[in-house]
Amino acid sequence: MKKKLLTLTLLLVLVLSGCVKTKSEVESGGKDDSKGGSNEKVQIEVLGMGSGEEDLNIVRDQLIKNGFDVKLNIQPDYGTFSAQKDAGNFDLALSSWTTVTGNPDYAVRALFKSDGANSMVKDAKVDELIDQASTETADEYTKTYKQLEQQLVTEKAFIAPLYNSFKAQGVNKEVLNPDTVRLAKSRAIPWETIDFKKTEQRATEPLVTQQAIGDLTSLDPIKGNDGSINTLNTNMYVRLVNLTDEDEVVSDGSLSYNYAMAEGNSDYYFLLRDDIHFAAVSKEKAVDTGERVGAEDVVFSLDRAKDMDSVPDHRTYSLHEHIKSAEIVTDLAELEKTTLSGSDQTVLAALENDLDTKLSALVGNKTEADNSKGNYQVVKVTTTEPFPQVLNYLAHQSAGIVSEKQVKSINTYDVASFNIDTDIPYGDQRTVTEGANYNNQLYASGPYILVKKNDYQADFVKNPGYRTGSDFEPKVSNVTVRFIDDADSALSALRNGEIHIFNGVPETKYDLVEKADNLQLQKSDSNAVTYLQFNTAGREVSQSENLRKAVLFSINQDEFLNYYQGNKKKAYSTVSPLVDTGNELVADSDKVKEFLEAYRKE
């Protein structure tokens, strides 16, 4: 009965909050700005979605306990949540962020820098510390990120951290060999390592996995950075480097044998392999085009990645804006005379490490590369300033290598006058969707290529020209990605054998996977952090640090950890899973009273 009453209350709040006020209405009187007397409670409006109902209830109870009057503004989906947020109808918004590149710059730049794509923070000190940390190496930036967190949380209370989540997936261990299924902290799951328990099924049975979103943003890697395409593009396009499951930058499974950071931390060299060809689709089958993935394609791909005007609706430009140039190196002497960062070793020696055949010549044309004879291609990436974290961005799916020839042949439109109704760009999902408009134009440099999709699933086939005969040649010939947006439905499909992997098992469902005889739960740390974002325009919390700090010190993270039965960890900011700064938020009711009193006296 208690649960039903709570549900009815939340539904009533939902109905009352469904009418979206404009930002001007909010700023001019949509909310009672009265601070009240010393005995009056301060009202706080907390915005969130139905999927975060448990967290919203905990936040509400903690604020009420500390003397606030709390209004929950719960929206049914992300669209209505965004509309309320854009209108300014909140003091606090329940937010989350996952650092998919494994580096702390990505965890803060877009969120908290004044010009960040998703930022509600404008603070010169925050900007300065973000930029400073980006120029430092991992053994240098801990102190800087500690100061950044203190400015962001302790000094200004722009956010109130809640917790760091784990990452979990369920695997059908009767069908798949669980040891071949990776669960990385940051990067999307790679399919090429996955194998069936019965290896004879590799060519006859598809690997069946799942994702929530079926409407694909774009299969052009620079035009999307969301849950609809991150996994798909990660497996369709090879990159210069990759991330290990623990976020170390490596060449394994990439286009390069080795990479090297030169003295000064602004020049980065990559020695390319010659055993990867682009795949295309003919009659719904993957074919080897015979076109090698080479340095010319790398330069073309990175040039367009760093140019915000290279395509309409460029969604990943901010990840690559630190790239000044990408060029093909043809002078072997440059590698011999350039030393590694913090070392006397030459770049040449680093690039030749563990090679079967050493470098005898560098070639500018990819058709002339022949690694067995010592003829290689090298690409140099130069950053606008010292920026060691550029390597993490080069491991991101948006840095996937596309075919210069193919993309140029399709993207013949004028970017400034692009018309979505008449111009069909490279990677448009309409070209791979079953029906009258199907005209698959994809060229995949990675282990798999998307053959076709519909409203229910997308079908992939292995690239026949990808690392043939090596350990990185895809094991399974066909992959089917089912579109199942509901977590309970996805879990049911996993338990019934309809899918083989469910990435994203909720914490509250771990036990169902663990108890199933045919399933195995894989769990690891993640870079996902949930926090409360303060409104920085048009509300009392926007103007008063004291009020924000009163909210901040009302948050008791132990209660979240207890609710989730230890399946969450404490966090101080979105940097917490990546850098151990030592900062910790401790709830303090005395500080709440102190800051509320100071707020009332303002």
pLDDT of residue 79: 82
Residue 556 in tokens = 């008791």
| Token pair of 60 as six digits | 């509400």
Q: What integer pLDDT is reported at residue 579 of this predicted model? A: 96
Number of C-alpha atoms within 13 angstroms, CB side, residue 416? 0
Collapse the DSSP code of 454 into the 3-class scheme (helix H, G, I; strand E, B; otherwise coil) and give the result: coil
Cα separation of 596 and 546, whole Å? 7
CB 127 within 8 A of CB 493: no
Q: Which fold has domain 2-165+526-601?
A: D-Maltodextrin-Binding Protein; domain 2 (3.40.190)
pLDDT (mean) for 90-100: 94
Q: Are 284 and 452 in contact (CB under 8 A)?
A: yes
What is this structure's pTM?
Answer: 0.85
Domain boundaries defined on the chain: 2-165+526-601, 218-448
What is the per-residue pLDDT across 502-524, written as a single tens digit (0 to 9) for each? 998 988 899 999 999 999 999 99
- Looking up tokens 């967190």 gives 149
Average pLDDT over residues 340-348: 96
Q: Whose structure tokens read 């990408």?
A: 326
Q: What is the pLDDT of residues 169-200, one digit of tens each?
A: 999 999 999 999 999 998 899 999 999 999 99
User: What band does 208 get if pLDDT is binned at 50, 70 and 90?
Assistant: very high
- Sheet containing 323-329: give its strands across: 256-261, 267-272, 378-383, 323-329
- Distance between CA atoms of residues 67 and 41, nearest Å: 6
Task: Give the integer Cα–Cα distance in Å for 500 and 497.
Answer: 6
Q: Cβ of 468: how many Cβ atoms within 10 Å?
A: 13
Tokens (6 digits) for 421: 């109704």
Looking at every residue in the chain, the average pLDDT score rounds to: 92
- Tell me the per-residue pLDDT of 539-593, one tens digit each, with 9 for 90 and over: 999 999 999 999 999 999 999 999 998 999 999 999 999 999 999 999 999 999 9
Q: Which CATH superfamily does the domain covering 218-448 fall into?
A: Dipeptide-binding Protein; Domain 1 (3.90.76.10)
What was the pLDDT predicted at 35? 58
Cα separation, 498 vs 18, in Å, equals: 37
* Residue 473 confidence class, pLDDT cut points 50, 70, 90: very high
pLDDT in tens, 279-316: 999 999 999 999 999 999 999 999 999 999 999 989 89
Q: Where are the alpha helices (DSSP H) in 46-103?
A: 53-65, 78-87
